[in-house]
Amino acid sequence: MKHLLLSTIAAVVLGICLGQQQSAAYEEIKKSDPPPEKLGVSVMTFNTKWLLGSQSQVKALKEKGIWGLEEKDTEPEIEQQHQAVATIVARHAPDILCLQEVINEIAAKRFQKTLQSKGMQYTLHFLESRDTYLEQDVVFFSKNNSKNITDIKISDPTDPVYPSKCVILTCLLNGEKTALLGLHLKAVPTEPRAVSRREKQADAVVNQLQRLSTAGYATFVLGDLNDWDPIVPDADSSENATPTSQVLRKIKDYVTGGNDEMLNSLQWVQPMEKRYTYNYKGSKTVLDHILLPTSWKNRVTGVIIDHNRPEGASDHWPVILKLSW
C-alpha cells in the first residue's frame, strides 16, 4: 500500500513538472512569434502645376490666352516634370494617389507609364472634369498590390456646377465603405470674388459629404483647397495666412450642430516650421489638405509634407497621410 502511494505521488509530481516544461516551452514560442501584421494604408495629394501630356496641349491652351505655361513649351520640359513628379511618388509609394492640375487623360496616361518605367504599377481612375477652359483634372491612382483597397469606383459630384474640379472615389478600405473627394477649389485665397465662389463650392462639397455619410461612407476630403484652416496653425502665423472665408469650417463641420465630423491631418505634421505646402506671395503656408473622419483619429500613424521636391515638379509640396489598423 505504501509502495502504491509513493508511486502515485511520484506520478503527480512528474506530471506537474512536465506540464511546467510544456508551458514554459509554449511561452517561449509565443515570445518568438512575430506580432500580427498591422493593416496599413497611405494616401497622398499633390498639385502638380500643369502636368501636360504633349506639346500640342500646350499650344492649344496658349491659344486660349492661358498663361503660366512658358516653361513647358518643349517635350524635354514636359518629360522632366513627369520624371520629377514620379520621383516624389516613388519615394512614398502611396496606396491612393490624388493629383491636381493634370491636363486631360493624355497626361494622366502618360504619367501612369512614367510610374511603370520606375517599377510602380498603378491603376488610373479618370473622369474628365467640368473645367472646360483650363482643362485641369483631378485624377486618382491606386497601387495595384494594395490588398486592403477593393471595389474602387469613381464618380462626379451630383451638383451640376460646383465644384468644377472634383472626383469622388469610393472603395472598401480594409472592408469599410470609404469615400475620398479629390478637390481643386477656386484659386486666390483672399480675393473677394474668389472667396465667394470658393464658399459656394464648399457648400456643394458639404452636400456631397452629407449624401455619402448617409449612405454609410467614411468620408475624406483631399486636394488643393486654396484656403487655410482657421483652427490648425501652419508655418505662417501672420495675418497673411488668415482665412477670409468659411471653407474649411464648412467642410469639417458638414453636419451642422455638434462637433466637427472631419479633422485636418495637418495637426500631425511636426515641427510647426514644416507646415507649408505652398509659397503664397512670400508666405510659406498650407493650401493643400487631407481631411479625415474624426472617428479615424487613432488610426493616424504619421503625416508628412515632403519638401524635397525635384526641380520642375511643381510649385506645391505634397501631403502624405499614413493610417494603420
User: Which amino acid is located at 52 in the chain?
Assistant: L
Count of residues in the chain: 325
Domain shared by 3 and 66, yes or no: no
What is the arrangement of strands in the sheet containing 149-155, beginning at the earlier edge strand? 149-155, 166-173, 176-184, 218-224, 288-293, 262-264
Domains in the chain, number: 2
Domain shared by 180 and 290, yes or no: yes
Domain shared by 240 and 318, yes or no: yes
pLDDT digits (tens, 9 = 90+) for 127-141: 999 999 999 999 999
So what's the pLDDT on residue 29?
A: 44
Domain shared by 1 and 62, yes or no: no
Q: Reduced to 3 states, what is the DSSP secondary structure of residue 248?
A: helix
Poorest-pLDDT segment among 50-64, 139-153, 237-251? 237-251
Domain shared by 131 and 51, yes or no: yes
CA–CA separation, 104 and 129 (whole Å) = 8
Domain shared by 215 and 161, yes or no: yes
Among residues 158, 155, 145, the alpha carbon closest in space to that of 179 is found at 155
Domain shared by 20 and 83, yes or no: no
So what's the pLDDT on residue 251?
A: 98
**Other CB atoms within 10 Å distance of the CB of residue 56:** 10
Query: What is the pLDDT averaged over residues 147-167?
Result: 95
CATH number, domain at 127? 3.60.10.10
State the cell numbers at 271.
515641427
Domain shared by 148 and 181, yes or no: yes
So what's the pLDDT on residue 211?
A: 98
Domain shared by 145 and 186, yes or no: yes
pLDDT digits (tens, 9 = 90+) for 37-91: 568 999 999 999 999 999 999 999 999 999 889 888 899 999 999 999 999 999 9
What pTM was estimated for this model as a whole?
0.88
So what's the pLDDT on residue 2?
A: 45
Give the DSSP letter string of 86-108. Answer: HHHHHHH--SEEEEEEEEHHHHH
Domain shared by 186 and 63, yes or no: yes
pLDDT digits (tens, 9 = 90+) for 183-229: 999 999 999 999 999 999 999 999 999 999 999 999 999 999 999 99
Report CA-CA distances (Å) from 58 to 70, 103, 104: 9, 10, 12
Domain shared by 106 and 184, yes or no: yes
CA angle in degrees (0–180, nearest 5) for 175-180-185: 175
Report CA-CA distances (Å) from 317 to 38, 117, 118, 307, 310: 28, 23, 21, 6, 10
Cα-Cα-Cα-Cα torsion 140, 144, 148, 152, nearest 10 degrees, comes to: 40
So what's the pLDDT on residue 281?
A: 87
Is 139 in contact with 126 (CB distance < 8 Å)? yes
Which pairs count as long-range contacts for 112-119, CB under 8 Å and 24+ apart, including other chains? Answer: 112/141, 114/82, 114/83, 114/85, 114/86, 115/86, 115/89, 115/90, 115/141, 117/86, 118/86, 118/87, 118/90, 119/90
Domain encompassing residue 100: 40-324
So what's the pLDDT on residue 224?
A: 98
Domain shared by 148 and 232, yes or no: yes
Q: Using pLDDT thresholds of 50, 70 and 90, give the confidence band for residue 22.
A: low
Q: Reduced to 3 states, what is the DSSP secondary structure of residue 63?
A: helix
